[in-house]
Chains A and B, each alone.
Chain A
Amino acid sequence: QSVLTQPPSASGTPGQRVTISCSGSSANIGSNTVNWYQQLPGTAPKLLIYNNNQRPSGVPDRFSGSKSGTSASLAISGLQSEDEADYYCSAWDDSLNGWVFGGGTKLTVL
């Protein structure tokens, strides 16, 4: 059981916009920033979004993040086949004094 809650799956067709939610509590998302990681099949996770809505260099602007209260969202617009991957949200948890992750969302491009 993950501390942060994500839907196990999401899907969309090429060109569509999809969103993935991440729900937490006042101890984590409510008081700290959220990061998102993309894990392509068979590879290590890669930082996708940090500080709620910032993109590292090289990440397309099709990817965006937002946060409100104790929840966060990752949006992917202009969906492409290469976006098919697992996506994880993460935040520091003040109660656990450690990093927590969501259970991951498997994105399928139909």
Chain B
Amino acid sequence: QLQLQESGPGLVKPSETLSLTCTVAGGSTSSSTYYWGWIRQPPGKGLEWIGSIHYSGSMYYNPSLKSRVTMSLDTSKNQFSLNLSSVTAADTAVYYCARKTVGASNPFDSWGQGILVTVSS
């Protein structure tokens, strides 16, 4: 059974870079079948897709965040990562990692439990 687990600092200072890692168990990040993604949810608000990455190197980023987002994949550790630069209080959110099957409209079918990241000095 696939399990996804987010990890990283729970507190980031304004203007710094938020860095999170998602560790995958029960599945492989080197599979050509899946994209691996990040979605966030500000406290009390809705979901916002951040980006998705594929083993081949294909990546899609939310246009509103694209200038600040970098995603990478480490198949040796079965992990993928998110870097979000120049953070502000508006980036405070629960960050989820998730998996989706390749195919235009296929959904995110497995999610991590989420990690709360607070941006504050």
Is A110 at the interface (CB under 8 A from chain B)? no
Is A63 at the interface (CB under 8 A from chain B)? no
Check if A98 sits within 8 Å of B105, measured CB to CB.
no
A-chain residues with CB within 8 Å of residue B108 when the two chains form the complex:
35, 37, 45, 47
Cα(A44)–Cα(B97), bound, Å: 10
Check if B112 sits within 8 Å of A44, measured CB to CB.
yes
- Known A-B contacts A51-B105, A99-B49, A100-B49; A44 and B60 likewise in contact (beta carbons under 8 Å): no
Is B26 at the interface (CB under 8 A from chain A)? no
Cα(A47)–Cα(B110), bound, Å: 8
Interface residues on B, range: 20 to 34
Interface size on A, residues (CB 8 A): 26
The smallest beta-carbon distance between B90 and chain A, in angstroms, is 14
State the 10 A-B residue pairs at the shortest beta-carbon distance, nearest first. Answer: A35-B107, A99-B49, A33-B105, A44-B111, A101-B47, A50-B107, A104-B46, A103-B46, A32-B105, A47-B109
A selection of 14 A-B contacts at a CB cut-off of 8 Å is A2-B46, A33-B105, A37-B47, A37-B107, A44-B113, A45-B39, A45-B47, A88-B47, A96-B62, A96-B63, A98-B49, A98-B60, A98-B62, A99-B49
Residue numbers of A with Cβ under 8 A of B are 2, 32-33, 35, 37, 43-47, 50-51, 56, 88, 90-92, 96-104
